[in-house]
Chains A and B, each alone.
Chain A
Amino acid sequence: MEIDVKKVAMLARIRLTDDEAGELGPQMNNIIGYVEQLASVNTDGVEPTAHPHDVALPQRIDVVTNTNRRESLQSCAPKIESGLYVVPKVIE
């Protein structure tokens, strides 16, 4: 499996120069190659692992526990207007 570094970078919204892509590509492919060793293990009759820990899913009852903390939660946002987050235009 060959990784398309430019595509991965685009999906992750990370800007890469050609030099960086050239440097990262072989490194990422090395990692993939390492993990691919797992494919050689015979897993016939082995249940797929849904989660590494066999723990019960914590469950919540349907009761509102959070109150309005808008002011403090928005204090780290770069820009706010009338309680709304302001971001660069996203519609096509």
Chain B
Amino acid sequence: MSWEVVIGLEVHVQVNSKTKAFCGCSTEFGTEPNTQTCPVCLGMPGQLPVLNMEAAKKTALTGLAINADINLESKFDRKNYFYPDLPKGYQITQFPLPLVENGYLDIPTKDGGEKRIGITRIHMEEDAGKSMHEGLDGVSHIDLNRSGVPLMEIVSEPDMRSADEAIAYLKQLHQLISFLDVSGANMEKGQFRCDANVSVHQPGTPFGTRAELKNLNSFRFIKQAIEYEVIRQIELIEDGGEVVQETRLYDSVKGESRSMRSKEEAHDYRYFPEPDLPPLRMSRDELEAIRAAMPELPGQLRKRFETEYGLSPYDADVLSQTRELASFFEALVAAHPADPKRCANWLANELLGRLKEKGMDISDSPVSSQRLAGLLERIADNTISGKIAKDVLDAMMEADDDADAIIEAKGLKQVSDSGAIDAIITEIMNANPDQVAGYRGGKDKLLGFFVGQVMKASKGKANPGMVNQRLQELLKG
């Protein structure tokens, strides 16, 4: 039997505003527990929420970036459930009339094409606090610093047909969110969290019953969890069973999921309009101001790198992966404008390679764009060869010295003096009379041998172009 997989994703993104959605408490991560709370986010009676407009603007900006409709009037609702990390007993969210509706994202497919994934809606809501259970006997501990932190919930259409497509969508969305600077988007810190709705059916028949997978906090686990769920459902159906609509928790250690049935029982959120918040109205002018502040997005950046700097599509893609990397590249080109392609090569291959070995990110690079540009200048003016420059870059990774100081201290200056190069060549020719005779007898390939010997004798400092040229002349005899 052939089965088709249907996946829809709900992504919760923490908005990177300084304060919470409905009160003036800080949203800083990793501080002492319960030091960033107030009567509003603790759910004390009689406290009134006041909307943080920064959160609304960032949600609208995200909506514009996915080509969605922005509702100039949207409203807030209460979603009611009991859990100790939700002190009010309800979450403020948007139910029938969210701020953003009907968007999409185009994702790359394996055959090099594109596929459009619909985004049903993005609504604003607030995060819950954090519960801790580990190592505790019969009790749980609650930290409410996160209670009330603004979230956007980004809900996709059930348009994905494989775990790989789901991951491609999530990576694309993650990159977009990072470029828009609307969230820290750090998955380990819970700033970008994913729930997956998964079902299987036979092509041509209605969609199957779906299960919701929760607790997915890395791209790798999301892929594993979806793949596990697909197999579970197919086996269940083929054995004559039926998929039940339920929430399942994926255990990344065991590599399996289990049902959270008790949560199902309480799945009656009794939404009703939030009486404490009048509708959110945004004017056309406000919306246009948000649109005008839209930063350059990855696709636009990639195209500009190709046309403005003549980069290959591959380099342009690598250098537009993150905002930080793209800014580093542009700062590097500004400091070494003569050769943007050299900038791209040295950044994408040499510096990124060295950072990767150290497990570092471009933002922690010990070599700044200015220092790297200083090195590239010395290649451009033939002070050092590209090969020596790699050694200089190694040294720059370990010390704060600039390229010139390292070249000077280690005596790495390239020898471009023809007298000095001729002297080395003569010495090598005298030491290898057989090879000289061979070359003169027509074995052209021996040129490579001589180049190697001369470079070795000069400890790599001889100007390779000049070595080639002088060798060919002197070997003629």
Contact = CB atoms under 8 A, between A and B. Distances in A.
Interface of A: 7, 11, 13, 50-66, 68-70, 73-74, 81-92
Contact of B75 (A11, A51, A70): A51
Contacts of A7: 268
A66 B263 CA distance: 34
Contacts, number: 128
8 contacts: A62-B19, A63-B18, A64-B18, A66-B25, A70-B32, A86-B141, A90-B83, A90-B131
B277 interface: yes
User: 5 tightest CB-CB pairs across the interface, nearest first?
Assistant: A65-B24, A62-B54, A84-B141, A85-B142, A68-B35
A58 B38 CA distance: 19
B327 interface: no
B73 A85 contact: no
A86 B139 contact: yes
Contacts of A61: 53-54
Q: Is the interface of A mostly helix, strand, loop or mixed?
A: loop
Interface in B131-147: 131-133, 136, 138-144
A50 B97 contact: yes
Given A11-B268, A84-B143, A66 B84 contact: no
Interface of B: 17-19, 23-26, 32-39, 42, 50-55, 73, 75, 80, 82-84, 97, 131-133, 136, 138-144, 260, 262-263, 266, 268, 270, 273, 275, 277-281
Contacts of A50: 73, 75, 97, 273, 278-279
A66 B36 contact: yes
Contacts of A52: 275
Contacts of A86: 139-142
Contact of A92 (B42, B53, B260, B277): B260
A63 B19 contact: yes
Contacts of A65: 19, 24
Nearest to B265: A10
Contacts of B141: 81, 84-87
A60 B84 contact: no
Contact of B24 (A63, A70, A90, A92): A63
A91 B24 contact: no
A56 B33 contact: no
Given A62-B17, A70-B32, A85-B141, 13 more contacts: A11-B80, A53-B278, A57-B278, A64-B18, A81-B141, A84-B143, A85-B142, A89-B136, A90-B131, A90-B140, A91-B133, A92-B260, A92-B262
